[in-house]
Amino acid sequence: MPYTVYFSLLLATISVAGLAYAARLRRQVRAQLDAFDAVMANMSDGVVMLGSDGSVRNLNSAAAAMFDRPAGDVSGIDLAALLPEIPAACDAKPQRNGHQKNQYRTEAVRSNGASFPVEVRQLGPYGRSRHTGMLILRDLSPVRVDGSEDVQRFRQSQYFARMGTWDWRIDTDELYWSDTIYGMFGYKPGEVTPSYSLFCEAVHPEDKARVREGEIRCIETGENHDEEYRVVWPDGTIRWLRETGNVIKDENGQIVKMMGVVRDITEERAEVDQIRELAFNDPLTRLPNRIIFEDRLSKAIDRAKRHNTRVAVVFIDLDGFKSINDELGHAAGDRILINTGQRLINAVRASDTVARIGGDEFTIILEDLETDAEIHGIADKILNAISTPMELDHRAYQVGASLGIAVYPEHAGALDTLIHTADKAMYAAKARGTNLYRIGGWRDTDG
């Protein structure tokens, strides 16, 4: 093939690759802009975006309501039409850290000419010659008038949703909170000055490292910041928060801050824990149910394989329970089951698992057994614990039990076979009477 053909193919390949890379960059930039626009639209405070000539470029929904001006009608107007005194504020002398004063109070003007106090926070290098950036405004009016009802409704919705907005300059200690966030950290709005160090002190000691790692990952990779963590209030109260956000870059592409939202999820976490409790624990006795029993047995067998040890499974069926339940009712029967579960816990070691798998059937997992004598000893303790009379409605009642025991690896090498062997042993013991136990294929034994 001629050299010119090779060269043409090479140029075509480079062009296609370049177009694909440019398209991917455009998608990434568009995704970042969409995320930024979503945060701006949902902020409870007003945001004024400025162009390079110092004119107003855009307002978010809160600012549009604050000034009673449709967001699209302000593009290109002088900032002084909204904040007449801002030029003087921009000329503030540099602070010790070299930065200009970036937070102050001044007067703003609504579309009808009415003035109202605002707190202004500058998020860019402002001055008479350089206005590029944004302003965050907080309306300090004691009474909302004209078009501010929408702002008030939005702030109320944030309060009831336990959600607030924040931004943090990553090179300083400066941190901004919307009013709702103060309450998430145990403060009243304005009671403290938000700072990054104050935030770090409030994060639960066990969660600090993970939260910090998430922030660093977001700053270094641009991935969305999404963390759930606990905060400790000044009075010791612990609450759960979920924080999401991302980085914001300046005109040169340098990361200058992180911005996002935070929400109180304490009640949601409690509901999830309750659902998990109901899913994995017996609702009456609060003992592990069959799902947890089989999971723990599987892990116990794996440990026994690694360490060349033994695991025993005990199946327990109560004798005489049905007659008491029929005579005294289900409430009394429930008390017997609860009492039996507690007696079983007290009869075995803290490392053993006691579970209720349904009705009047219980199971126990025994690990690290060295001798057969240990198994016999535990079986006797179980039978004695269950058969001890219990008092119900000023009368003493007694139930018995039949036990079936299977040992890994002697009787079975797999979970299902081990369970089946213990179950068969239990029915074999029950067929001979009450307060008996049978170990695998061994003899029946009196309790």
What positions carry a catalytic annotation? 360
Q: What DSSP string describes 77-101?
A: -BGGGT-TTHHHHHTPPP-TTSPPP
Q: Which amino acid is at 263?
A: R
Torsion, Cα of 326, 328, 331, 334 (10° steps) = -70
Residue type, 137: L
| List of E strands, 110-237 | 115-122, 133-139, 163-169, 175-177, 225-232
The pair of three-digit structure tokens given for residue 53, joined into one six-digit string: 């000539």
Q: What phi and psi, each to the nearest 5 degrees, are found at residue 168?
A: -135, 125
* 202 vs 227: CA distance, rounded Å: 15
Q: Strand 225-232 and strand 361-367: pairing? A: unpaired
107, 81 contact by CB (below 8 A):
no
Cα angle, residue 277 at apex, residues 274 and 279 outer, rounded to 5°:
110
The span from the CA of 90 to the CA of 80, in Å, is 12
Strand bridging mode 400-408 / 436-439: parallel
Total residue count of the chain as it appears in this document: 447
Tell whether omega for the bond before 205 is within 30 degrees of 0, i.e. cis. no
Structure tokens at 25: 């960059």
